[in-house]
Amino acid sequence: MSLSLIANWKLNGSKEFNHHWALEFFRNFNGNNYSSIGIAPASLYIDHLKAVLADHDIMVGSQNIDMEQTGARTGEISASMIKDLGCAFSIVGHSERRILFHETNHMICQKLIQANNNSLIPILCIGESADENQRNNTYKVLEEQIIEALGNANELSSLIIAYEPVWAIGSGKTPNPEEINSVHEMIKDVVQSRFPKIDLESVLYGGSVNLKNASYLFEQKNIDGALIGGASLDGREFALIANVLKEQSV
C-alpha cells in the first residue's frame, strides 16, 4: 500500500510537540503498516521528528521545496536537502502556497521536476476556490491545474495528487463523499489519458477530514486516503483516523 494518510502540520510544532504527538499516536494506532503514513512537519523539525519516530518506518516529508537546486535564494530549501535528511516525499503546490506565496502552476511544475530528480514522491495539491465551485467550474479548474503543473513534468516516476477544495480547508465543510469520488475519478482519467508515462499512485482527499467524517470518505472507491491539516495535530485523532482507513482498506 502506498502513502495514503499524510499529516500536514503547517506552521505548528516544537520538539516538545514531536514527543507528545508520537506518544499519543503510538498509544492509539492499532496497525503495523507504518509506511503508508506520512508526516510533513516544518522542515526545521524533520531531523528531530525522525529521531523521535525512531525505528518505526513512518514516512517523513516536507511541506514545500524550492523550484531550484541551488543558488542565491535566501530562505529556500531544496529537494536535495530534504532528501539528504532522509525524507520520502514533499507536498507541492498547496493552496496556501499558491495564495499566500503566489506560486504558479509553472513554479509548481519546476518543483515537481526537482522532487522527481531527487527521488522524492511529490504530493501535488489541486483544488478549486469557493467561487469557482459555485460557478460549477470545478472540473475545468482542476483539469487546468493538472495540465499546467504536469506540462513539462510528464515523465514523473511517481506522483500522488491531493484534491483539496480551497473552501474546505480548515472550514469544517466538505463536499459530499460521492462528489469527491467523482472528482477523483476525473483526476485519474485526466492523468491517465494526458500523461500516460506518469505513474499516479493514488488520489488523496484533503479539507476538514476528521474522525467523524473519515469512514464516509474512505468507503468511496476512488478516495485512496487523505491529506490532513487540523485533525493531524492531535496524535490520538490522527491514529484513530489511520485505524479507520486500515479497516476499510482490507
Map the footprint of ligand PGA across residues 183-222, applying CB under 6 A.
206-209
Residue among 169 and 203 whose Cβ is closer to ligand PGA: 169
Burial 115-146 (b: 16+ CB within 10 A, else e): bbebebbbbbbbbbbeebbeeeebeebbbebb
Written as nine digits, the cell of 22 is: 508520537
The question of whether 164 is a catalytic residue gets the answer yes
Map the footprint of ligand PGA across residues 150-169, applying CB under 6 A.
164, 169
Q: How far is the CB of 177 from ligand PGA (least distance, A)?
A: 15
Written as nine digits, the cell of 213 is: 467524517
Map the footprint of ligand PGA across residues 41-60, applying CB under 6 A.
none
| Among 167, 228, 246, 205, CA closest to 1 | 246
Stretch that binds ligand PGA, among 69-77, 152-160, 180-188, 225-233 (CB under 6 A): 225-233
Q: Using an 8 Å Cβ cutoff, are 132 and 145 in contact?
A: no
CA dihedral 108, 111, 117, 120 (to 10 degrees): -100
**54/116 Cα distance (integer angstroms):** 26
229 binds ligand PGA (CB under 6 A): yes
Q: Give me the catalytic one of 96, 103, 128, 164.
A: 164
Q: How far is the CB of 178 from ligand PGA (least distance, A)?
A: 20
The question of whether 106 is a catalytic residue gets the answer no
* Size of the chain, expressed as the number of residues it contains: 250
**How far is residue 238 CA from its own chain's centroid?**
14
170 binds ligand PGA (CB under 6 A): yes
Residue among 160 and 231 whose Cβ is closer to ligand PGA: 231
Map the footprint of ligand PGA across residues 64-123, applying CB under 6 A.
none
128 binds ligand PGA (CB under 6 A): no
Residue among 8 and 114 whose Cβ is closer to ligand PGA: 8
Q: How many CB atoms lie within 10 A of CB 98?
A: 19
List residues binding ligand PGA (CB under 6 A). Answer: 8, 164, 169-170, 206-209, 227-231
Active site residue ranges:
94, 164
